Structure 1
Amino acid sequence: MVEFRGGADATQRGVAADVALTQQREIGIMSAWLTQWGLPQVSTDPPMRWMRSVHLDHDSSGHGGAATDAVRMPGMATSTELSQLAGASGRELDALFLTLMIRHHRGGITMAQEAAARAEEPDVRALARAMVINQAAEIEQMQADLRAMGVPPA
């Protein structure tokens, strides 16, 4: 992550590490379930098809688009935002990282709530509920970090 390299605040570099490790763990758990259930890790279905009841971002700009545009996961940074992040350093990087990560976590909460409501497997529902709780707590902390930096909340 870019935050590891150029963030000014050691706390925010730690947040970045924690987010990366937590998401790796969650991906590992879900990948193991798919393997255990004999299901593929990837699909030829359109991205995010399972969440059709939830508003999704279309196209790479995140500003909506035609139904034929690629569908992105809720809260994902655009390529423009990732370029801005890669070009930032120090305090500017910390603030942009937190702002984008808050939006990313909000998208994760949306997906986890949908999974918790729709999953048939108790373990999937439990993980999804835990993800909602953890990401909501992380959002609160990141908002507090932005306020401490003198940056408006995201």
Structure 2
Amino acid sequence: MTSEETEAGTEQPAWSRWVIIGGTLLAVLLIGATAGMFLTRTIDSDPAATPAAGSVEVGFAQDMSTHHLQAVTMAGWARDHSTDPEVRQLAFDIERTQLEQVGRMKGWLMLWDKPEQPIGAPMQWMTEPMQGHDGGMSMAPSSLNPAGGPLMPGMATDAELAKLRSLSGKQLDVYFLQLMLRHHQGGTAMAQYAASHSSLPALKALVNSMLTSQGAEMDQMKLMLSARSAQPLPA
């Protein structure tokens, strides 16, 4: 057998790469759910302290899970369709990090016996103005999606998601970075609001993790946009 035949025989099929990635992301989600339930049981073991429906803790877990899952969707599209290794790596990192965090929040909701989705409009748990990423004050939700009602801060509309799917090459990379940067900025403001209005240690620990990972990613995305002669979307 020639070296060429040996290399061809051991080459990994293209489909198997996506199976491995999908399995990895599923494992990350399950690990996050287990960690969320374990940490909440360990830190907050008093049944009387279980957050009530409509509380900051329950509302944050429900809404931030939805917010994160849109980021996962956008990142998954960029990972599969970008040809830029830097963009694809960033997209995968966002998928992995945010899926683990979604797992934690869904683990809390299971432990608290609360539904994964809120009843009614999002962000009803936010009763005071929140501070935006630019230091200004705003009330949420901050925008409307004609097809699906109010959106949480930073989230892309259906039209923006459709545009993202229609692009390719550098245009896809730039628009993904713009949408994801805005998405992170909105999520950061939500997380900061929740942490300042909750005394739950597990929530504060998760927010700290979010701020650390998303802060680094926002800095990276700004640099990547600048390198591609592009600017962030207007706030």
Q: Describe how 1:91-130 pairs up with structure 2 within 5 A.
A: 91-130=170-209
Is 1:37 the counterpart of 2:112? The answer is yes
Which structure is larger by alpha-carbon Rg, 1 or 2?
2
Q: Name 1:66's counterpart in structure 2.
A: none
Query: Hey, what's the Cα distance between the residues in 2 that align with 1:45 and 1:96?
Result: 31
Gaps of 5+ in 1: 62-68
> Displacement of 1:44 after TM fit?
1.4
Query: Hey, what's the Cα distance between the residues in 1 that align with 2:182 and 2:231?
Result: 14
**Residues 44/153 of structure 1: CA separation in 2 closer, same or farther (3 Å cut):** closer
Q: Describe how 1:129-144 pairs up with structure 2 within 5 A.
A: 129-144=208-223
Of 24-33 and 38-47, deviating more is 38-47
Is 1:5 the counterpart of 2:80? The answer is yes
Query: Hey, what's the Cα distance between the residues in 2 that align with 1:111 and 1:59?
Result: 17
Name the aligned partner's letter for residue 122 of structure 2: P
Query: Hey, what's the Cα distance between the residues in 2 that align with 1:58 and 1:70?
Result: 9
Q: Describe how 1:26-65 pairs up with structure 2 within 5 A.
A: 26-53=101-128, 54=130, 55=139, 56-60=141-145
Superposed CA RMSD: 1.7
Structure 2 contact 178–231 (Cα < 8 Å) conserved? no
State the TM-score, normalized to the length of structure 1: 0.87
State the TM-score, normalized to the length of structure 2: 0.59
Which of 137, 142, 145 in structure 1 is aligned with 2:224? 145
Structure 2 contact 225–232 (Cα < 8 Å) conserved? yes
Structure 2 contact 174–230 (Cα < 8 Å) conserved? yes
> Displacement of 1:8 after TM fit?
2.7
SS at match of 1:59: strand
Gaps of 5+ in 2: 1-75, 131-138
Identical amino acids, percent of aligned pairs: 37
Q: Name 1:64's counterpart in structure 2.
A: none
Query: Hey, what's the Cα distance between the residues in 1 that align with 2:205 and 2:155?
Result: 24
> Displacement of 1:9 after TM fit?
0.9
Query: Hey, what's the Cα distance between the residues in 1 that align with 2:232 and 2:121?
Result: 34
Query: Hey, what's the Cα distance between the residues in 2 that align with 1:83 and 1:94?
Result: 15
Equivalenced residues, count: 147
